[in-house]
Structure 1
Amino acid sequence: MSYPHSPSGPAGPQEPDLDLEALKARYRAERDRRIRPEGGRQYQPVAGRFGYYDEDPYAEAAPDRARLHDRVDVVVVGGGFGGLLAGARLRQAGVESIRVIEKGSDFGGTWYWNRYPGIHCDIESYIYLPLLEEVGYVPKWKYAPGEEIRQHARAIGRTFDLYRDAVFQTQVTGLRWADDTDEWLVSTDREDRIRARYVITASGTLSEAKLPGIPGIDTFRGHTFHTSRWDYAYTGGDADGNLHRLADKRVALIGTGATAVQCVPHLGADAQQLYVFQRTPSSVDVRGNRPTDPQWAASLSPGWTRRRRDNFLALVTGGQVAEDLVDDGWTSSARLHQKLIPSDSYQDLPPEERERAYELADFQKMNGIRARVDELVEDPATAELLKPWYRYMCKRPTFSDSYLQTFNRPNVTLVDTADSHGVERITEDAVVAGGTAYEVDCIIFSTGFRVGVSGITSGRLPVHGRGGTTLPEAWRDGPRTLHGFYSHGFPNLFQLGPLQNASSVNFVHVLDEQATHVAEVIKAARTRRARYVEPTAEAEAAWVATIREKAPDQYAFQAECTPGYYNNEGMPRKRSESFGDGPVAFHALLREWRANGGLRDVLVDAAPDEG
C-alpha cells in the first residue's frame, strides 16, 4: 500500500529554507536545559500528607447506606467512559446484574473531577463522546465543554440503566479470587463485601493527580489546589469563567500543559495579578471551535458516528481516506503522529528517506507554530519564551484561540523556569524561581496526572488471583496479558486501558473497541456455560512475544525530546508495551480472533460452540 509522503500531499514536503542541523542542535540544547536526573520522581502522588488535594469538592458528605454483602454478575471498577462503555456493551449483550463502583459521587470519571474554567475536549465531540446514537444526542459544539461531556456521561448511565446498582463515593480496596466458588470477592472502603462472577477494571489513565516535589510546598500559608479539584468557593465563577473572587488576588499557576492552556485565559482576565510558571512551553495551534450546524445535524444518517470516528482513526494513523470528515488540527498534521502512534505511513520509503521526510514535515509544522507566537504575542522577549523548541509529538499538541494573547495583558507575567529546572522552592508567602520571590495569595497546581497508571498497575488496588498469587508476583518480569485484557492465573478479570494493546489520540474510541470485545467474550462465556474466562499460559506467552516483536522503537526519538510525560520526563523507557501495528490493525485482529476460534484460548471448560 502506498501513502503520501507528508501531510502536504503526495508530492511530499519541500526542502525548507532552514538549517536542519542547527535546528536539531537548538532542540537538544533546549532539552538539556530542562532535564532533571530524577526523571518522573520529581513528582509526588496526591496521597498521605497531601491527601487533601484529592478530596471531592463537588460532593456532599457520603450518604449513609447499608454495607453491601450480595452477589452480582459483573463489578465494573470506575464510572468514567471506560466503565460506562463496559456497562453499556454488557447490557447490550444481555447482562442484567452490573454494579459500577465509582469514587466520585456520579458518573463521568475525568469529566467529573476536572471542571476548571475553560475546560473543553481537544478531540472533536462528534467522535469523542461515545454512544451518541444510542443516547440520541448530537453535541452542541465541535469541541464540547466539560459540562456537556459530564452530562452526556450521566445520560449514558440513565439510558443503559446503570444507576440501578451503581454505588458512588466508594473505592474498591481489594479483589480476591475464591477458588472454591469461582468468583471474585470485592472489598471497598465502605466495608462492602461483594461477590462477582466477573470484574472489569476501568479506573482510567488520568485518574491519579500528581504534585511537583518542590521544597517547601507544604509551608505555604496561602490557598492552594490542583486543577483537577478546582476550588470555585475560593475563585468564584464556574467553568465559563467570571472568577470574580480573584479580583484582589495574586495567583501563581504552576504548569503549562493542556489544562493550563485552557484555564490561563480566564485566570488572566479575572485575577489582580497572574504569574504563569513555565518550564516548557506547549505547542499551541488554532482551535477554531464553533457551534454545531443544525442543518448538518439533521442530515446525519444511522451509523454516522462510527463512520466519522473510523475516518479519524485511519487518518491519524497514516491511512488514506476519500475525505477528511473531521478536518482539524489533528488530521492536518496526521503524518507527524507516527512518532507516538505506530502505523505504516512512509513505509514505502527507505529508512533514511523516511526519517528525513518526517523531519522536514515536522520542522515545517513547528516553524508555523513558532511563527504564530510572534504574530499573537506583543512583547518579543515573552514571545521567545513561549516558542516550543522540540519535535511536534514530543508533547501532546494543544489548541487555543486565546491562550497566547493572554500574555499581552499587563497583569499577566510569564516566569520561565527552564534554567532552574522548574520552581526552586515555595515559602510561606511566595513562589521562588530564578532567585526571585513572587509573593502570591494562591498557588494552583496544573501539573497533570500519573499517566497510564491505574490502581491495579500501581499496586494501590491489591489483586489476588488463583492460589492467592498477586498480580505484581505474576508480573515480576514485566506485564503478561493476552491482548492487554486478561492474564493467566486471574480468571474472569478484565482490564481496560493502554497496556499491551493499541492506543490513539481519541482514547474513548479505543475504550469502546475494548468494551465491545470484553462484552463479546463474556457473552460467549455465558452462552457456552464456561467455568470461567482465563487465557492459557501458551496464549499469554505468544501475545507477550508478539508485543516484543512488534513494539515500536521510539526510544531514539523520545530521548531527543524535551522532558514530559510522553518520554518519562526525559528518561524514556527502552521497551514499549504497545502493539506496533497500531490501533486499526489491532481492532481488526480482535474481530478476527473472536470470529475464528480464538475464544478456545480463554473459555475454560466451555460447551462446544453451536454457532
Structure 2
Amino acid sequence: MTIPHAPTRAELIALRQRYRLERERRVQPDGAGQYRATDAEFSYYAADPYTEVAEREPVHDTVDVAVIGGGFGGILAGARMRQEGVERIRIIDKGGDFGGTWYWNRYPGIHCDIESHVYLPMLDETGYVPEWKYSPGEEIRRHAVRIARKFNLYEDALFSTSVTSLTWDEASETWIVATDRGDVFRATYVVTATGTLSEPKLPGIPGIEDFKGHTFHTSRWDYAYTGGTPDGGMTGLAHKRVGIVGTGATGIQVVPMLAEDAGHVYVFQRTPSTVDVRANRRTTADDVGAGRDGWARERRENYLRIVSGEPVEEDLVADQWTRSAGLLEKLLPSFRRHGDRTAFEAAYEIADAAKMNELRARVEETVTDPDTAAKLKPWYRYACKRPTFSDKYYPAFNRANVTLVDTADTHGIERITEHGVVVAGTSYELDCLIFATGFSAGTSGISSGNLPVHGRGGTQLLHARAQQGPRTLHGFTSNGFPNLIQMGSLHNASSVNFTHILDEQAVHAAALVAAAEAKSALVEPSRASEDAWIAALAEGAPDHEWFHAECTPGYYNREGRGRPNGPTAYPHGAVAFHELLQRWREGAVTEILQTRTSPQPR
C-alpha cells in the first residue's frame, strides 16, 4: 500500500534528529514547576465571572449519595443513581451551575473536538440530537443542564460551594461532608467526580504579577471587558493590543476569533500544535440515523472500538480522529501491541511520519509568510501532543493584525512587565494579556491535598497513596475507605472520548450502590482484591515510556520528565475494560460488599 507523504529511510533518520533538536529547544529544567496554581495571590484568575454567589444557610442533614463535581462525571453519576432508585442525591460544585469544564470554559470559538453525537452523553435517554457535528460550548453546557433537569438533580444540589473535607464516621458508618459554606452533612455514599482538567494553571513567568493591563485565563473569559459572546463580536477589543499565551486546543480556537475583533493580536507560542481539518457543519437526525432506538449508543460504541484499535465493519463517524486512529496506540492501550513488536514499530513510525508530513504541508499550503509558516510547523511525533482541528487557525496568520512570536529559543517568555511581554529582548506592549495555558492535568482537590479524605482510623487517602502508591479495585474503590467511589482515569480505562468513559463509570458506580443497598452492606474491597487488580494492570502494560521521553514537552509526558512510573490504566483498552466490568457486576460484585455494623441513617 502506498502511504501519502511516506518518508524514505534517510528522511526518517533526518526526522528523528530534527525531532530531538526541537525537543531540546523547548525542555525547561523545572518541568511542571514552570506553572503556578490559581490560588493565593492569583485566586482572582479562578473566580466565577458567570454567577453571583447567593447567600444561603448552611445545610446540616443526611443524603443517600453525595457527588463531588457537577461536570458530566457527576451529572452522569447522579442520573445513573436515579435510574437505580436512589432518592436523595446531592451534587456539590464550585461553579454556579452544572456543566463542569463546559460551565467554566466559554471563550470565543469554543467547540468540542470530538463529534457531538458521540461526545454528548445520554442522547438516547433525553431524545436530543445535536445541531452540529462538533458542538459549540453552549450547546454542550445546555445538554448538561438538560440531563440534570431530566433526572431531578437540582433538588439537593449545592452550587458555588467547595467540599473542604470528607471524614468517615465509624460509629454511624457514614461520611461527614464539610464545605467552605459552613455545610456539615452526612452521606451514606460519596462519589468523587472532580475531573481531570478542573484546576486552571498559569505559567510561572517572572513579573506576571506586575502587568498593569487587563488579564484573565481563558477558562474565566471576561466578556465584561471584551464585549461579545462565544460567537464573537468583541467590540471592546477593537483598538486593543492583545497578547495570548498558549497554542494548544484552546488557543487554536481563540486566536481566529481575536484576529477578527482585536486591533492587534500577538500569539506567544512555545510549541506549535498539529492542526488538522475540522470541516464542521450542521447536522440533522437523518444524517446520524437518529430515528432508530439506541442510535447514539451504537455510534459511540463504534467510535470507541475504532480509536481503541478494535475491528469494525463501518466507520460511522468518519473524521480525522478515526482516520488517524492507528496513531493513537502510544496514548490508548489497545490490541495493536500484539504480534511482532519490531515490525509494528517500524510500520508505526512510517505512518506517523507520513501523517506529520501531511500536517506540515498543510501549514505551508495555507500560511503565506514563509517565516511564519516555518514556526507553525510541528516537529514531533503525532501522539506527543493532543491533536487539534481547525479550518480558521492558520488563515488567521495571513492577517496584518496577527503576529506570531515564537519563544522556543528563549525557553518561553522571558518576563512580563507592567506594560507587556518580553521575548528575546524585544518588548511587546499590550493592553490585554490572556492565558490559554490550560489546566493541571490529572490534578484534583484530592490529589492536590486541598480536599483531605480521612477513612478508617483517620487514615488520609493522599498520605496512604504517598506511602504505598495508589491502591484500588478497578479504579473505583479502596480498602480502608468504605462507600467511597472514585471516578476518573486512575486504574481505569482511557479514551479520547472521555464522556463515554465517564458514563460507563457512572453505570458501574450506580451498580455498586444498588448492590450494597440490596444487601444492606458497605462497599469496600479487600487488600487481596486490590493486589490482584494492581497485578492485572501491570501484566501486559505497554512500554510507552521511551516514546514519551523523546517527545516535545507537554502534559502527556509531564513537561519532558517522562510518563508516571507504574501502571495507571487498564492495559488492554477501554472496550475490554468495559466488558470486564460488566462480567464482574454480573458475577463477582458481592465480593466487594462488607457487613454493616450500624443501621443505615434515613
Q: CA deviation at 1:297?
A: 5.4
Deviations 1:116-148 (CA, angstroms, capped at 9, x unpaired): 000000000000000112111000000000000
Counterpart code for 2:448: S
CA distance in structure 2 between the partners assigned to 1:510 and 1:340 by the alignment: 15
Are positions 1:400 and 2:390 aligned together?
Answer: yes
- Shift of residue 219 of structure 1? 0.4
Question: Structure 2: how far apart are the matches of 1:461 and 1:300?
Answer: 45
User: Does 2:199 align with 1:218?
Assistant: no
Are the aligned partners of 1:552 and 1:578 in contact in 2 as well (CA < 8 Å)? no
Question: Is residue 53–residue 225 contact of structure 1 (8 Å, CA) maintained in 2?
Answer: yes
What residue identity is the alignment partner of 1:392?
Y
1:5 aligns to what?
Answer: none
Residues 551 and 577, structure 1, Cα contact 8 Å, conserved in 2: no
Match of 1:145 in 2: 136
**1:428-447: CA deviations, max 9, x gaps?**
10100111110101100000
User: Using the alignment, how far apart are the partners of 1:339 and 1:20 within structure 2?
Assistant: 18
Other structure's SS at 2:409 match: helix
CA–CA distance in structure 1, aligned partners of residues 183 and 99 of structure 2: 22
The code of the aligned residue for 1:441 comes to: D
Give 1:450's match in structure 2, choosing from 440, 443, 465.
440
Whether the 8 Å contact between 1:13 and 1:360 is mirrored in structure 2 is no
Q: SS of 1:196's equivalent?
A: strand
Q: In structure 2, how many angstroms separate the alpha carbons of the residues matched to 1:267 and 1:19?
A: 38
| 1:102 equivalenced with 2:71 (yes/no) | no
Determine the structure 2 residue equivalent to 1:470: 460
Matched, 1:46 2:53: no
Give the SS at the match of 1:88.
Answer: helix
Contact 1:185-1:196 within 8 A present in 2 as well: yes
Decide which moves more: 398-407 or 466-475. Answer: 466-475
Deviation at 1:69, TM superposition (A): 0.5
Q: Is residue 2:47 matched to residue 1:89? A: no
Equivalent-residue separation in structure 1 for 2:499 and 2:39 (angstroms): 28
Task: Give me the whole-angstrom Cα distance separating, in 2, the residues matched to 1:157 and 1:129.
Answer: 13
Q: In the TM superposition, what are the counterparts of 1:516-595 in structure 2 within 5 Å?
A: 516-530=507-521, 532-572=522-562, 573-595=564-586
Instruction: Name the SS of the counterpart of 2:168 in structure 1.
Output: strand
Q: Distance in 2 between matches of 1:89 and 1:351?
A: 41
Within-5 A mapping of 1:86-485: 86-296=77-287, 299-345=290-336, 347-348=338-339, 350-475=340-465, 476-485=467-476
Q: Distance in 2 between matches of 1:298 and 1:343?
A: 29
* Counterpart position of 1:497: 488
Q: For residues 319 and 415 of structure 1, do their structure 2 counterparts lie closer, same or farther at Cα, with a shift above 3 Å needed?
A: same
Are the equivalent residues in 2 in contact too, given 1:525–1:606 (CA < 8 A)?
A: no
3-state SS of 2:513 partner: helix
For residues 4 and 371 of structure 2, what CA distance do their matches in structure 1 show? Answer: 31
Residues 13 and 361, structure 1, Cα contact 8 Å, conserved in 2? no
Matches within 5 A, 1:58-77: 58-60=50-52, 62-77=53-68
**Whole-angstrom distance in 2 between the partners of 1:575 and 1:30:** 28
Which amino acid counterpart does residue 413 of structure 1 have in structure 2?
T
In the TM superposition, structure 1's runs of 4+ consecutive aligned residues that sit over 4 Å from their partners are 11-15
Q: Is the 8 A contact 2:5 2:357 kept in 1?
A: no
Greater mean deviation of Cα atoms: 111-120 or 456-465? 456-465
Q: Please name the residue that 1:4 is paired with.
A: none
What is the TM-score when the length of structure 2 is the normalising length? Answer: 0.97
* 3-state secondary structure, aligned to 2:404: strand
Q: In structure 1, the residue corresponding to 2:446 is in which secondary structure?
A: helix
Assess, with a 3 A threshold, how the Cα gap between structure 1 residues 186 and 273 changes in structure 2: closer, same or farther. same
Secondary structure (helix, strand or coil) at the match of 1:577 reads coil
- Letter of the aligned partner of 1:133 in structure 2? D
Change (3 A) 1:298 1:506: closer
Kindly provide the amino acid, as one letter, of the partner of residue 308 in structure 1: R
3-state SS of paired residue (1:550): coil
Q: Which amino acid aligns with 1:35?
A: V
Q: CA deviation at 1:584?
A: 0.9
8 Å contact from structure 2 (residues 69, 193) kept in 1:
yes
State how far apart, in whole Å, the 2-side matches of 1:270 and 1:211 are: 25
Report the Cα offset of residue 14 of structure 1.
9.3
CA contact (8 A) 1:12 1:357 kept: no
Distance 1:149 1:299, change over 3 A: closer
SS at match of 2:90: strand
One-letter identity of the residue aligned with 1:447: T
Question: Is there any run of 5+ residues in structure 1 with no aligned partner, and where?
Answer: 1-7
User: What is the CA-CA distance between 1:474 and the residue it aligns to?
Assistant: 1.9
Distance 2:290 2:330 in 1: 37
How far residue 65 of structure 1 moved from its aligned partner, in angstroms, is: 1.5
Provide the C-alpha distance between the structure 1 equivalents of 2:338 and 2:167, rounded to a whole number of angstroms.
46
State the shift of 1:606 in Å: 7.7
Secondary structure of 2:63's aligned partner: strand
Deviation at 1:299, TM superposition (A): 5.0
Task: Give the distance between the partners of 1:149 and 1:215, measured in 2 at CA.
Answer: 37
Q: Secondary structure of 2:225's match?
A: helix
1:179-210 CA distances to partner (integer Å, 9 max, x unpaired)? 00000000001100110000001011110000
Which deviates more, 386-395 or 470-479?
Answer: 470-479
CA contact (8 A) 1:430 1:437 kept: yes
CA contact (8 A) 2:129 2:285 kept: no
Cα pair 1:69 1:193 within 8 Å, conserved: yes
User: Which one-letter code corresponds to 2:532 in the other structure?
Assistant: A
Whole-angstrom distance in 1 between the partners of 2:573 and 2:470: 19
Letter paired with 1:176: T
Q: What does the per-residue CA deviation read over 1:283-338, in whole Å, with 9 as the maximum and x for residues that have no partner?
A: 00000001013433575301111111110111011111000000001000000000
> Partners in 2 of 1:574 and 1:364 — Cα distance?
31
What does residue 600 of structure 2 align with? none
Give how far 1:549 is off.
2.5
RMSD, aligned CA: 1.4
SS of aligned partner of 2:158? coil
> Residues 253 and 274 of structure 1 are in contact (CA less than 8 Å); yes or no, is this contact kept in structure 2?
yes
Taking every aligned residue pair, what percent have the same amino acid on both sides? 60
1:59-111 CA-partner distances (Å, limit 9, x unpaired): 11x22212100000000001000000000000000101100011111000000
Q: Decide whether aligned partners of structure 1 residues 15 and 140 sit closer, same or farther in structure 2, where only a CA change above 3 A counts.
A: closer
Amino acid at match of 1:380: P
2:6–2:353 CA contact under 8 A, matched in 1: no
Quote the offset at 1:13 in angstroms: 8.7
Deviation at 1:543, TM superposition (A): 1.0
Whether the 8 Å CA contact 1:13–1:357 is kept in 2: the answer is no
